[in-house]
Structure 1
Amino acid sequence: MGQTKTIESDLKELELNALLEVTEAINNNLSEESLYKIYHFTLLANLKVKKLALFVESEGQWNCKVFFGVKSEVVDGIPVDQFEGEEKVKALGHTECQEFDHVIPVMHKNQLLALVFVGDIAETAAGFTSNSATTFLEALTNIILVAIENKKLARQQLAQEAFKKELEIAKQVQNYLFPKNLPATDQFEVAAFYQPHHNVGGDYYDYISIDDDQFLLCIADVSGKGVPAALMMSNFQASLHTLVRQTNDLKTIVSELNHQIKFSGNGEIFITFFISIYSKSKKQLRYLNCGHNPPLLQVNLKEDVELTKGTTVLGMFSPLPFIEMGTVDNLDQFYLFCYTDGLNEAINAEEEEFGEDRIMKAIKSVENSKPHELNDAIMKFVNDFRQGQDYRDDVTILSAKFKS
């Protein structure tokens, strides 16, 4: 009787020391790897557990985090999935799992966190029974795993806060990309519509008054979405404005932009781009289309022309393999309609794309309207077509109407 009490007392002391050691490790904010090592050492050295395999569930898969006393081939052969429904300690037969006597499900708030497979518990040096051992193992494992889970949640929360801050900064940066004021007179009106797929996007449009005679209109779409796309487009906008102050030669501007994108994007980021400059005195529109959706130009408000001449997407080749300047002469008045592929790639419930034909039909139905009215009408057409389906990309429209 006295010997039994001594064994129980020794056991309680061992368990208490183990708990203190684990608690101290958690309080010292040790890494997940360090906590598993302490768990391993505590069970093997202090409590004399002979065989153990700890499986933790993560993203639908079971991963063995700690094992000892058996070969890795034995651990690999454990049919872990068969024990997912267990809620209490279960004794194992040799046909179910060799080398191990019990499987211990570790629960937290009715959720299965882990499965502990143990063997030879009854033969430990302390001589305690399997019931007391499995109960303590369950408690110790629960403490370790909940601590690790809390660390993960804390890291996720910090990451989410950091990402939210990045989004706020990127959104502020992106707001500076777009022109604050667009012309809106009887002679010349420019209107734009922009809707990012996420909080921030990779589309860009601009109007730049070069001098009293010339103005620039452009639209662009960077590959990718979110913060990286927005930051790349911010760099693109800054480079464009710097180049326009130095030259109005479109080939020079596009070649330099391509070089910068290829260099800063490491050949992994591409931008489709349409740029045009109109001269009032020459009544001429010069343009380059760099792999972008062809804008529609209504020449002298009569003939419709797709603006396709130019080069390939920017950032893919350096130098560009070819550049063909597009020009439209004797242009007294015009209507220019530009858009990014988020518009034509919008889908309905049957996953049918809106497409360029519907865009042209929508334009024709309201072709005598003002640019901002045209943009609103186009968006109504596409929203009716989508039937509530989400957009798959950023949507940007740039419309301009000029008459001398």
Structure 2
Amino acid sequence: MEFNALQTKFYQKELEVNALMEITQAVNSNLPEEDLYKIFEFTLRANLQMEKLCLFVKEEDWECKVQFGTSKDFNQVRMGDACLSTRKIAYIDQMNLDVTCFEEFEIIIPVLHKDRLLAFVFVKSIGDEINVDTTFIQALSNIMLVAIENKRLARKELEQQAIQRDMEIAKNVQNYLFPKELPNNDKIHIEAFYQPCRTVGGDYYDYITLDHEDQFVVCIADVSGKGIPAAILMSNFQAVLRTISRTAENPVQVVKELNYQLCMNANRENFITFFLAVYDYKKKNLRYINAGHNPPLLMNGKPEVEKLTVGTTVLGAFEPLPFIEMGTVEDLEEFSLFLFTDGLTETFNKDEEEFGSERLEVFLEENYGMPLQELHKKLLEELHDFSAERNFSDDLTFLSCRVNNASV
């Protein structure tokens, strides 16, 4: 009898070693998680003569990954507090369970890795006697679950790397949207600042010369949404704008075509606020359309702000546009134009008060005539002081255009 018992024990250990080797080989073969769970189930059913088994694994929540022989579907069962507080192997009938369905098992086996709870294994052996090698089950479960977790971490890292590469590509693509150089001469000086709240954003500004430099276009836009989708939509918008602005007869034609293309490409799921202005050096006038954008601020030779509000509604929401009107400002020789997106005026302080357009207007009037680089630097300092160094919650873009056309 002693020899038979010893032989049986040896045979059982041999089965367990083989099972550990199978799981290890499966892990090294980089099998999918589903296959590892199937091998785990088969190993315990074939080698340990389990009548019932249930494996709960901690992911976002506790999920049942393996079950067999049970009277209930444990995919629909939530773990109770009594189970979740268990850190040592315990007999079910000695626990005060708040979820009675686990009473069909004999033993609960917590699986930990570096004191962190990974899973619970509930088991019941065949026959009346409790004959479960809990240490083996714990070891087998630990090997499998640590391997699965490592696979997930590796997969997440690869996904993050891929996302980061995509973001870098999108950032580079977006950088091509903006003019490579902005003019800075005796006749015109333009300075611009752009800071996305993420790696890429949905703000855009541009400067385009027309008709042998007798005219130029200056514009700014803000697409609804943030991140890569907003940047992609804005890149399409920019391509259309640069194509049609050189051939269109007037700003109305440009805006109508932009709206049509946007409605077709974005299926009216996104919209863009947009401001477009065309200055004519010979006629000394500014024609513009404001499509639902923050009104740019014009100062015509003196520190008094005029808001440019004439235009239409946002682009991409209606086709055709329900109304459109072109604004015109005559007799412009020496003037400054300040364009911005709502990330500037909607900068908040610790009391959730926004910077607002009134503060911006006062700032521009008080600093009228200041060199544009200094003006932008001082404005950024004002915004940081106002927000108490809080991160901006939206893309931040602004552009200053100063023209001296008095001698032309």
TM above 0.5, one fold? yes
1:29 matched to 2:34: no
Q: Which shifted more, 307-316 or 99-108?
A: 307-316
* Cα deviations by residue, 1:328-354 (Å, 9 ceiling, x for unpaired): 122223211111111111111222211
Structure 1 counterpart of 2:57 = 56
Q: Normalization by structure 2: what TM-score?
A: 0.91
Contact 1:366 1:377 in 2 (8 A): no
1:129 matched to 2:134: no
How many Å separate the matches in 2 of 1:367 and 1:71?
81
From 106, 112, 117, give the equivalent of 1:112: 117
Q: Which shifted more, 229-238 or 344-353?
A: 229-238
Per the TM alignment, residue 79 of structure 1 is displaced from its structure 2 partner at its CA by 3.6
User: 2:38 is matched by which residue type in structure 1?
Assistant: K
Structure 2 counterpart of 1:361 = 362
Structure 1 counterpart of 2:237 = 236
Per the TM alignment, residue 117 of structure 1 is displaced from its structure 2 partner at its CA by 1.6
Structure 1 counterpart of 2:308 = 307
**Structure-2 change in CA distance of 1:215 and 1:12 (3 Å):** same
* Cα deviations by residue, 1:192-244 (Å, 9 ceiling, x for unpaired): 11111122222111111113210000011122222222222222222211112
1:98 matched to 2:103: yes
Contact 2:106 2:130 in 1 (8 A): no
User: 1:256 is matched by which residue type in structure 2?
Assistant: E
Per the TM alignment, residue 398 of structure 1 is displaced from its structure 2 partner at its CA by 0.5
Structure 2 counterpart of 1:329 = 330
Contact 1:284 1:331 in 2 (8 A): yes
Per the TM alignment, residue 245 of structure 1 is displaced from its structure 2 partner at its CA by 2.5
How many Å separate the matches in 1 of 2:322 and 2:71?
60
Q: How does 1:5-404 map to 2 (within 5 A)?
A: 5-59=6-60, 61-72=61-72, 76-77=76-77, 79-93=79-93, 95-96=96-97, 97-119=102-124, 121=125, 123=127, 129-130=131-132, 133-211=133-211, 212-301=213-302, 303-404=304-405
User: 1:30 is matched by which residue type in structure 2?
Assistant: L
**Structure-2 change in CA distance of 1:282 and 1:348 (3 Å):** same
User: 2:63 is matched by which residue type in structure 1?
Assistant: N
Q: Which shifted more, 348-357 or 256-265?
A: 256-265
The alignment of Structure 1 onto Structure 2 pairs a total of residues equal to: 398
* Cα deviations by residue, 1:303-326 (Å, 9 ceiling, x for unpaired): 532111222222222222222211
Q: Which shifted more, 48-57 or 20-29?
A: 20-29
Per the TM alignment, residue 294 of structure 1 is displaced from its structure 2 partner at its CA by 0.9
Contact 1:370 1:401 in 2 (8 A): no
How many Å separate the matches in 2 of 1:147 and 1:170?
34
Per the TM alignment, residue 373 of structure 1 is displaced from its structure 2 partner at its CA by 2.5
How many Å separate the matches in 2 of 1:71 and 1:346?
59
How many Å separate the matches in 1 of 2:154 and 2:75?
31
**Structure-2 change in CA distance of 1:79 and 1:200 (3 Å):** closer
Per the TM alignment, residue 185 of structure 1 is displaced from its structure 2 partner at its CA by 2.3
**Structure-2 change in CA distance of 1:294 and 1:105 (3 Å):** same
Q: Which shifted more, 80-89 or 153-162?
A: 80-89
User: 2:106 is matched by which residue type in structure 1?
Assistant: D
Contact 1:362 1:377 in 2 (8 A): no
Per the TM alignment, residue 122 of structure 1 is displaced from its structure 2 partner at its CA by 6.5
**Structure-2 change in CA distance of 1:74 and 1:370 (3 Å):** closer
How many Å separate the matches in 1 of 2:53 and 2:362?
70
**Structure-2 change in CA distance of 1:321 and 1:48 (3 Å):** farther
Contact 1:243 1:253 in 2 (8 A): yes
How many Å separate the matches in 2 of 1:257 and 1:343?
25
Per the TM alignment, residue 128 of structure 1 is displaced from its structure 2 partner at its CA by 7.7
RMSD of Structure 2 on Structure 1 (CA): 2.1
How many Å separate the matches in 2 of 1:5 and 1:318?
86
Q: Which shifted more, 188-197 or 264-273?
A: 264-273
Contact 1:298 1:304 in 2 (8 A): yes
Q: Which shifted more, 102-111 or 84-93?
A: 84-93
How many Å separate the matches in 2 of 1:384 and 1:71?
65
Per the TM alignment, residue 358 of structure 1 is displaced from its structure 2 partner at its CA by 1.3
User: 1:108 is matched by which residue type in structure 2?
Assistant: H
Find the residue that maps to 1:218 and give its secondary structure.
strand
User: 2:71 is matched by which residue type in structure 1?
Assistant: K
Per the TM alignment, residue 81 of structure 1 is displaced from its structure 2 partner at its CA by 3.6
How many Å separate the matches in 1 of 2:202 and 2:74?
51
Which stretches in structure 1 are left out of the alignment for 5+ residues?
none
**Structure-2 change in CA distance of 1:72 and 1:341 (3 Å):** farther
Report the identity percentage: 49
**Structure-2 change in CA distance of 1:84 and 1:290 (3 Å):** same
Contact 2:64 2:74 in 1 (8 A): no
Find the residue that maps to 2:109 and give its secondary structure.
strand
How many Å separate the matches in 2 of 1:134 and 1:268?
57
Which stretches in structure 2 are left out of the alignment for 5+ residues?
none
Contact 2:16 2:136 in 1 (8 A): yes
